[in-house]
Amino acid sequence: MFTGIIEEMGVVRGFDRDAKSARLSVLARTVLEDLSIGDSLTVNGVCLTVTGTANGEFTADVSPETLSVTNLGSLNVGDAVNLERALRVNSRLGGHLVSGHIDGVGRIRDRRPEDEALVLSIEIPKELLRYCVKKGSITVDGISLTINQVTDKEIQVAIIPHTAKVTALGLKGIGSGVNLECDLIGKYVERLLQETGPEGTPQKIDREYLRRRGLL
């Protein structure tokens, strides 16, 4: 699990692809301090497993599925990426619960300053809109953000100057693709409400229902 609080920007040093998958090499500093082979970390919000560390960089393999459903496939050498190590149990949860499993790729449609903030309008896949609520949480390229507005095809978020300065999102312009992970709790609630009881009747969620599933 992660929090959506970016620890540093890394720089893509290498991106070697074969017919289906790829190996990503990223220059970093902070996240390398206690990083070991087999550890998890997010790159632009995508949870990857570390396969090597040496000479100020780490490597990770990227599966065909990840390449197809995230923006990692469009990375080039020299690109900045957002990095976060997995959450420790005794750490503060500064953002919100983030799994690192991307739901889809959005696209920045507008970018404008508003007072000291930078406001982004992001077009998102239609099937993800049901998880977006005003003042709810969403992860954009690994960054925990609050949704300010929701329309029939876009969400609006604001990033403060600090976030714009220390994350790769501050470097992205109109038309750029961004990885999206919707609120984890909302997705589980939806799945529970989709269950039906006998003869297709709506499932009643009561103490007995929760007990049978080990939730009490």
Evaluate whether residue 216 is within a structural domain. no
How does pLDDT run across 27-36, given as a tens digit for each residue?
A: 999 999 999 9
Q: Specify the CATH number for the domain of residue 179.
A: 2.40.30.20
The tokens for 172 are 């992205």
Residue 197 above 90 pLDDT? no
**Cα–Cα–Cα angle for 136, 48, 31, nearest 5°?**
85
Residue 203 above 70 pLDDT? no
Indicate if 21 and 80 belong to the same structural domain: yes
Residue 196 above 70 pLDDT? no
Q: Label each residue of the chain as H, E or C.
A: CECCCCCEEEEEEEEEECCCCEEEEEECCHHHCCCCCCCEEEECCEEEEEEEEECCEEEEEECHHHHHHCHHHHCCCCCEEEEEECCCCCCCCCCCCECCCCCEEEEEEEEEEECCEEEEEEECCHHHHHHCCCCCEEEECCEEEEEEEECCCEEEEEECHHHHHHCHHHHCCCCCEEEEEECHHHHHHHHHHHCECHHHCECCCCHHHHHHCCCC
How does pLDDT run across 34-62, given as a tens digit for each residue?
A: 999 999 999 999 999 999 999 999 999 99
Domain boundary among 33, 57, 85: 85
Q: What is the mean pLDDT of residues 49-76?
A: 95
pLDDT score of 94: 84
Residue 202 above 70 pLDDT? no
Domain boundary among 85, 119, 134: 85
Residue 195 above 70 pLDDT? no
pLDDT score of 102: 97
**Residue span of the structural domain in which 138 resides:** 104-188
b/e map of 60-81 (b: 16 or more CB within 10 Å)? Answer: bebeeebbebbbbbebeeebbb
Average pLDDT, the chain: 91
What pTM did the predictor assign?
0.87
Indicate if 108 and 53 belong to the same structural domain: no
Number of domains in the chain: 2
pLDDT score of 201: 65
Residues in the chain: 216
pLDDT score of 184: 87
How does pLDDT run across 92-129, given as a tens digit for each residue?
A: 788 888 999 999 999 999 999 999 999 999 999 999 99
pLDDT score of 92: 78
Evaluate whether residue 149 is within a structural domain. yes
Selection from 16-25, 88-97, 191-200 with the highest mean pLDDT = 16-25
Residue 17 above 80 pLDDT? yes
